[in-house]
Amino acid sequence: MKSRILGLAALLAAALAVLSCQGTGPSGEQDVIPVMKVPRETEAAAGGSQFVKVAAAGQWTLTVDYIDGDGWIHLSKTTDSGNASVDMTIDPNEEETPRKATLVLKTAKHEVSKEITQMGKVTAATSGWLELPAFEQKDGFFFGTHSMDGGAYVSQEKSGVRNWSFYYDYEAYVSWWVAYPLNSSLRGSGNRSDNWQATDPLLPASAVCDVTSTYGGYSFTSGGWTRGHQLPSADRLDYAANTSTFYPTNMTPQDYNFNCDIWADLENQVRSYASRSDTLYICTGADVRSSTQRSGSKTGHQALVPTHYYKALLRKRGSDYSAVGYYLPHNMGPDESDYMGDYQDYVCSISELESLTGIDFFVNLPALLGADKAKEIEEASPSETLKNW
């Protein structure tokens, strides 16, 4: 409560400082423009609550102008004076299309507004994207998709080409998986930006680890967990798309040797596979289901350290589809030889990977090829499959 009061006081002080030069009205009172702060202007389809902070010099009203639908935003108060915190609750969006509304703050002389966007109820089955596994939109998790400019993907018509999707665990502070397509066009051209981000624009800052600095906590080799990409920086080289790979939702705490040795080797191999494909559909994941170890708190939160990492790869070349998986232990011991194995030691079929992770990969493949053909691809021997890759 103390931090909330201080935050509101600072917000009002900033408004008064900026607007003290606005002059005074006929009555001699300061002509102060109100300030409204909305923690997240993009809400998940599942809905939720957040506190809208208002700073104003006098009486104010807060209303909702609906662009799509009606009545899906609820405010704990619509009028007050001075500074206040308003609980805004957003209902679940049961439709597949996003919806928008405008939050309008008015005083006697001024009006400010913020546009609120709620994502549509997207599922793997309805999107048709081949890289996506099956997932549930449930409490404690957030599913989102980024466009190539790093913002929220709404549709191909509005957002252009999709970049990457993620399934974020609020309690673990990591994404269970990141899914994306890869080919030479999608990879683009440019260099690694190293533009580490404190937050993801689709989530409030309080929900993620600030990865502008390394993860804190104990690691045998580096004194702190490294920031391991799920979607590698080198898989998106155009600047805006590359910057998005440095969002905290794409990061996990990784041991230094693992990150720089076997994991980096596998990432290079995946890019090589993609260069010989029309498109490679990839789901990269961090298994935290049985993890009990957390990183340090330099990032603001203690993220769960994964026990394993995995990749599910679906290759399209012409009309042919084939797939393999990898499930790598994230050993956390002092012996560097733990990471000197070959990533091919951990190759498996997609069916085997599904048993290891409990995840149904490439859930849209049966609709494209038929259930029998999809099953054949997922059960195929990885050693035989890779002979043609």
pLDDT confidence tier of residue 296, bands split at 50, 70 and 90: confident
Cα 270 from Cα 97, distance rounded (Å): 33
Task: Give me the count of residues in the chain.
Answer: 389
Paired with 66 in beta bridges are 101
The model scores a pTM over 0.85: no
What are the DSSP calls for 24-68, one per residue?
Answer: B-TTS-B-PPPEEE-S-SEE-TT-EEEEEEEE-SSEEEEEEEESS
Q: Does domain 2-118 have CATH number 2.60.40.10?
A: yes
Question: What would the pLDDT profile of 206-239 be if each residue is shown by its tens digit?
Answer: 899 998 988 877 544 545 689 999 999 999 999 9
Assign 232 to helix, strand or coil: coil
Q: Angle between the 350-357 and 371-379 helix axes, to the nearest 10 degrees?
A: 80
Between 47 and 89, where is the model more confident? 89
124-386 in CATH: which number? 3.40.570.10
What is the residue whose two structure tokens read 């440019």? Answer: 190
Q: Where are the domains of the chain?
A: 2-118, 124-386
Mean pLDDT throughout 343-365?
A: 97
